[in-house]
Amino acid sequence: MSNLIPPHGGKGLTCCLLEGAELEAEKKKAAGLKQIPITPRVKGDLIMMGIGGFSPLTGFMTKADWKGVCDNYLLADGTFWPIPVTFDVSAADAAAIKVGEEIALVDPQTNVVMATMKVTEKYEMTEADKKFECEKVFMGEGTPTADEFWKIAKDDHPGVQMVMNQKEFNLAGPVKVLSEAEYPVKYKGIYQRPSESRKIFDDRGWKEVAALQLRNPMHRSHEYLAKIAVEVCDGVFIHSLVGNLKAGDIPADVRVKCIDSLVKNYFVEDKVVQGGYPLDMRYAGPREGLLHATFRQNYGCSRMIIGRDHAGVGDFYGMFEAQTIFDKIPCPSEPGKALLCTPLKIDWTFYCHKCDGMASLRTCPHGKTDRVLLSGTMLRKMLSEGGDLPDHFGRDEVVVILRQYYEGLTDKVEIKTHKAATGA
């Protein structure tokens, strides 16, 4: 019997991915259904529903679910959920689809049918609805009023841009997932289903597992966070996003090489598991921190490492807002409906020359001039501009990998820094 935390929602892993004869039959049926194109974000959400990563979700949200999640972090049935998971279509497609009809969801880049869906509801998303979602999901302490938020969000917040560019209608309903796309092959040995990570943890006899979220290369601060987690838990799950990022972010295969090098040279290997998941970043800061904890619970993790500016973008969020939000969310009393994965809150970490090692604001009494402030954004900016990194910013093995990547780039993207990256 497993000692791991149970999946979120109280229903075990709810996996919508078909296999075997059932999969082949659904593929044949899908060929005769209306073919509706999907975005990369929807593709990632489908795969997560397929493999149980989004348990207990088994389809795209109704309007009641969407509103409840935006307003109160709760699905219509009272289950905690922090961010809308919706499927947008054009007004023309919505008009051509009847409630009760089955449709095929197609990745337009590969022409692969990713899933079939039974449409149980369709609802319009007006400009006001989209703004409501953006203010609820993306507005943080960095822009405390709606006026301040909208002055910069439309131009500078990729999550806001994604929502505002969504099509006019959402479709709701259960899905049957037919493909995991390129992930099992492209990221073999890294991409995992929750059932697979849980088996690894169980085989190692782990009970308390901490997840480290990564979308940047793993620098010394990430390494330090992971090692703190190893000290207080049975092991750490270094879990990288292998879905789509924004322009200027470093591709997953490069980040995986960096992590491999660090684990091999600087960790006790049987205390670390590396994995990857197929979502796109939503750049929702505190809300995304909650989403990270929610699906990490499905992967078998009881703790979610939350450091400085978790999943942040620009200066939209307070430095530790992704920590304090865990203290404000509802806690449903019905079994299984509350979030059980708890945050491992860690203060701002850095290398201190006077301490002669990694430290945090809780442990280091020295000043800014003695510290090497570590940030994934600063790391990318310095490397993209060909600059030298300060001593102790990153491990030499990792810096070599990253320099090779940047030297091979022909198109450069400007990397914007922000207060959380510079220590301002």
Catalytic residues: 215-216
Q: In 3D, which of 389, 400, 359, 124 has the Cα closest to residue 262?
A: 400
Cα 114 to Cα 341: distance, rounded to the nearest angstrom: 30
The dihedrals phi and psi of 388, each to the nearest 5 degrees, come to -85, 145
Cis amide prior to 56 (ω within 30 degrees):
yes
- Which single residue is written with the structure tokens 């597992």? 209
Backbone region of residue 90 per phi and psi (left: phi > 0; alpha: psi in -120 to 50; beta: other values): beta
Rounded CA-CA distance 228/208 in Å is 13
Cα–Cα distance, 363 to 184 (Å, whole number) = 42
Q: At 247, phi and psi to the nearest 5? A: -55, 135
If residue 210 lies in a helix (H) or strand (E), which one and from where to where?
strand 209-214
- What contacts 55, CB < 8 A, 6 or more positions away? 7, 8, 9, 11, 12, 13, 14, 15, 194, 298
Closest CA to 313 of 423, 157, 137, 419: 157
Element (H, E) at 269: none
d(CA 227, CA 175): 39
Strands (E) across 15-107 are located at 34-37, 59-60, 87-89, 102-107
Distance CA 375, CA 214 (A): 12
| Alpha carbons 98 and 231: distance in angstroms, whole number | 55
d(CA 344, CA 369): 28
Q: Are 265 and 396 in contact (CB under 8 A)?
A: no
